[in-house]
Amino acid sequence: MARHAKNISQGNTATEHLGVGVLALCFPLQKVTAIIAACDKADKRVRDLPAALMVYYVIALNLFPGVAYQSVLRWLLSGLQWLGNHQFRVASKEALSNARQRLGALPMQKLHEQMALPMAEKFLPGSYFKDMLLVAFDGSTLALQDTAANAEEFGRSSNQNGDSAWPLARFVALVECGTHLIFAASLGGYKDSEMHLAKSLIPRLRKGMLCMADRLFPGYEIWKQFAATGSHLLWRAKNSLPLERFEVLADGSYLAKWLPKEERKKGSEPVIVRVIEYRLTDPGLAEDKGEIYQLITTILDPSVATAAELAAIYPQRWEIEITIKEGKTILRKGRITLRSKIPELVKQEFWGIILAHYLVRKMMAQAALDKKRDPDELSYEGSIEIIKST
């Protein structure tokens, strides 16, 4: 709430405005303006809060969680005045809300779709497996302001004790493992399944990628749709998946036919997958109590990737878990709910979070590329502070 909002200390040195410069460098004004026009959101008259300014403002809000709306605007405007020698007026909170509503969510989404692209090179640790770019996807939820509009649009979780305290939105994200760049995402209501939302990620996959996912996702249809992109897949599967083994390979993996009963009744053709099974053991447990992992992949030839190699590379999928934590928790300083009280602004704020995370991670990735270092050696939280205050 506003009474808890903080202010940003103001300074006069050039270095204190570099954060705005990084923002404009990552998202060039010409590109922002073109996207706004394509979304039919261009300003019809001269305004104190033009649409392009509001794009940068929504991103900046997520660099300063918990900071007062007008204070974030003041930080942004002071930097823009220093960069362009323009004078701006700090608007009221109501005017900011109205300007955000005029902009809507679509320009933020389109900005991400057009600007957020994979950028890892093969020498970056954890970025490639042989000639395949490592990517992974997963989902999570975001708690929202408790308003009737948000609850109606997004829904709530419930159990035997009643409904959750806040409405919840569900999202999925597709990440470049080596850099943690989110290059595709989708937002929906709490009752939208992650598998359903994941289908919107399909257009961002391509040949030359190795896409990893956890055991929630393997389904006959979605597997076929993801595989049709040309990207190789390496997904963990539930042990209950109906896999009919028909050929054991030299490395201990095997080929199997995958055809669920309902698809068999439709006369569908089986999908051929390669299955890798291995056990993770804990030194403190008896070996036979270790967890059994079952991976399925589109890489059918062991000469391309052995079972041991695929089992060793699969833990890179955890980079998506870390990435989600960066966006949900670290970037937002542990705040429980988003700021926005109406659904369109929730969607806009979501894309603002994704774009702010992309800004930080792109800066880190570029630094790692320039120095030929592992991006994991750089501090995500420290990089946020550099953007804000160096």
**CA dist list (Å): 34 to 56, 103, 114, 158:** 14, 14, 11, 43
**CA dist list (Å): 358 to 48, 62, 204, 206, 355:** 28, 11, 16, 20, 5
Taking residue 218's Cβ as centre, other Cβ atoms within 10 Å add up to 22
Q: Please state the separation of Cα 177 from the chain's center in Å.
A: 11
**How confident is the prediction along the chain (390 residues), in pLDDT tens digits per residue?**
333 455 544 444 433 444 677 888 899 999 999 999 999 999 887 777 899 999 999 999 999 998 899 989 888 887 776 444 455 677 889 999 999 999 999 999 999 999 999 999 999 999 999 999 999 999 999 999 999 999 999 999 988 787 888 999 999 999 999 999 999 999 999 999 999 999 999 999 999 999 999 988 889 999 999 999 999 999 999 888 999 999 999 999 999 999 999 989 999 899 999 999 998 776 665 555 567 899 999 999 999 999 999 999 999 999 999 999 999 999 998 899 999 999 999 999 999 999 999 999 999 999 998 888 888 889 999 999 888 775
**CA dist list (Å): 22 to 225, 260, 312:** 38, 51, 37
Of 95, 22, 92, 104, the closest CA to residue 58 belongs to 104
Cα–Cα distance, 329 to 276 (Å, whole number): 34
Cα–Cα distance, 271 to 264 (Å, whole number): 11
Cα–Cα distance, 327 to 31 (Å, whole number): 24
- Please classify residue 64 by burial: count the beta carbons closer than 10 Å to its beta carbon, then call 0-12 exposed, 13-18 middle and 19+ buried: buried
Q: Which domains does the chain have, with CATH numbers?
A: 2-114+342-389 (no CATH), 128-322 (3.90.350.10)
Q: What is the pTM (predicted TM-score) of this model? A: 0.91
